[in-house]
Amino acid sequence: MKSTFALLAGATSALVLTFNPSAAVASDGHGHDLIRSDLTPSLPTNDPINGVKPGGLPWQIDEGRVRVRADGRMDVRIEGLEIPRNGTVDNPIAKIHAVLYCDGTFAAESGPQTMTTGVGPGFGDARFRVMVAVPETCDHASVLIQPDNPTAPGTPAPAYIASAFASGDDD
Is residue 104 located within the same domain as residue 118?
yes
Count of domains for the chain? 2
Q: Which residues are bridge partners to 145 per DSSP? A: 98, 162
Neighbours of 98 (CB within 10 A): 27
> Residues 27-48: pLDDT tens digits?
334 579 999 999 999 999 999 9
Is residue 51 located within the same domain as residue 20?
no
DSSP 67-120: EEETTSEEEEEEE--BEEETTEEEE---EEEEEEEETTEEEEE---EE---EES
Residues 6+ apart with CB under 8 A from 127: 76, 77, 78
Q: Which residue, among 124, 117, 22, 39, has the nearest Cα to 74 in the 3D structure?
A: 39
Is residue 26 located within the same domain as residue 54?
no
Query: Do 160 and 109 form a contact (C-beta atoms < 8 A)?
Result: no
In a domain, 170, yes or no: no
Integer Cα distance of 35 and 139 in angstroms: 10
Residue by residue, pLDDT tens for the chain (171 residues) are 444 434 444 443 343 333 333 222 333 345 799 999 999 999 999 999 999 999 999 999 999 999 999 999 999 999 999 999 988 999 999 999 999 999 999 999 999 999 999 998 889 999 999 999 999 999 999 999 999 999 999 999 999 999 999 987 655
Residue 72 C-alpha from the chain's centroid: 10
Answer whether 0.75 is exceeded by the pTM: yes
Range of the domain at 60: 31-165
